[in-house]
Amino acid sequence: MKNKSQKMLLFCMIFILLCGSFSLRAQAAPPPGVTYETFDYRRYADDYDDLKQTFGYNQKQLWNHYLDSGFAEGRTVYLTNGSRGTISGAQTGLNKSNFDYRRYADEYADLKRAFGYNRSALWRHFVDFGASEGRAAYVGTVANNQIHAEKAKSFVEASPLPAYWNSREYSAEELQLIKNYYGTTLFVGDSVMSGFGMVCSGSSDSLLKSFHFQAAPSYALVHALRETNGGMHPPFRGQRIPPWNVASTLRANTVFLFLGINDISYTPVDDLITKYKTLIGRIQGAVPGVRIIVMSATYPYPGIKKGGLNGDNIAYYNSRLQQMAAENGWGFVDIAATSKGDGNFMKPELSSDKYVHVHFKVYNDWAKVIKAYAWQQISGE
């Protein structure tokens, strides 16, 4: 009888504890309309660095955190049809005709691998799956990105490169001085930069051979700024880590940056300049005293106009990059001048794909520009 009473008492205690825990969860119920399906877990992670570092974009773990702690702590959450417009196209004016399909693909590597930039397939994915998965979609900003060439004229248009960039021959001693000037050098960029990396890796030139690269197709400023490992960061020594961590690992003396072509179709130029400054600030924070050199963006093939990716906008972007570098004491090299033709377009014969990529022979001129820049700094010529 005594044992039976003890068991009954133990059962009652367990029941009370369980009821208590249920009541605590009930008190922490989310506001009306917030459910696991409508919870914008990506924004929840983006808004709180401690959660992003702990859970990444794990939807289940972030939802459990909100139920267990976040609600009681007063953390803000959003529905997936909130200010980012990730579900209800009707509420944001989002439809197939203004759907920024390139940004949708660039934001999600799995979709880009599956569909490339196929507008219809990406829109169909968003309607059928993406919205319910909480994937972000955006109305295109094409109208805001139509910058005319005359706007660029308010900035310095002349290349800061010396006239001898394409003709000067360097002695062995001068080449060593150039190599010493750059020291351990990292190039960060997209697919255009990847091509230069391949040329350098196969070169017999000891300077070019010494360069390090973190570059990959479709890499953009928006990707480079992501503080977490993985994602779109190009692999470096087996890891996908942010550029500032790569620079720190190398103890880089010099970092060249070639980014923005993959952002400019949907991001206004002045916003890109702000992002660039943020990225450079992080690199300088990780590697105090590092030399920063910004590279101009290559001009598109004649006639290319894909939203903000057009010749006039690239001209404006390059002039803003040059201005930004001058104002902050960073270097600037106009490598795009090596392939620029009539107007604000690439010379057709130097294009490898009738888009923004260049023939490999253009990279030989890049190397000359990079050497000329260093020699100008060393000699004052």
Angle at 159 between CA 153 and CA 161, to 5 degrees: 170
Is the model's pLDDT at 275 over the cut of 60?
Answer: yes
Tens digit of each residue's pLDDT (9 = 90 or more) over 180-225: 999 999 999 999 999 999 999 999 999 999 999 999 988 999 999 9
Domain contains 34: no
Domain contains 13: no
Residue range(s) defining the domain that contains residue 362: 149-379
How many separate domains does the chain show?
1
Domain contains 326: yes
Domain contains 18: no
Domain contains 95: no
The residues with which 254 forms a beta bridge, in sequence order, are: 185, 291
Domain contains 253: yes
Mean pLDDT of the chain: 80
pLDDT of residue 31: 53
Tens digit of each residue's pLDDT (9 = 90 or more) over 276-308: 999 999 999 999 999 999 999 999 999 888 878
Query: What residue has token string 């994602």?
Result: 231
Sheet of 291-295, strand order: 212-215, 185-189, 254-258, 291-295, 331-333
Query: What residue has token string 């103890």?
Result: 251
Domain contains 45: no
Domain contains 305: yes
Please list the helix, strand and coil fractions of the chain in percent, rounded to the nearest 5, in that order: 50, 10, 40
Helices (H) and strands (E) counted in the chain, each on its own, are: 17, 7
The domain that holds 314 is classified in CATH as 3.40.50.1110
> CA-to-CA distance for 176 and 179, rounded, in angstroms?
5
> CA-to-CA distance for 79 and 88, rounded, in angstroms?
10
Angle at 228 between CA 227 and CA 234, to 5 degrees: 90
The residues with which 186 forms a beta bridge, in sequence order, are: 212, 255
User: Structure tokens of 86?
Assistant: 């990730």
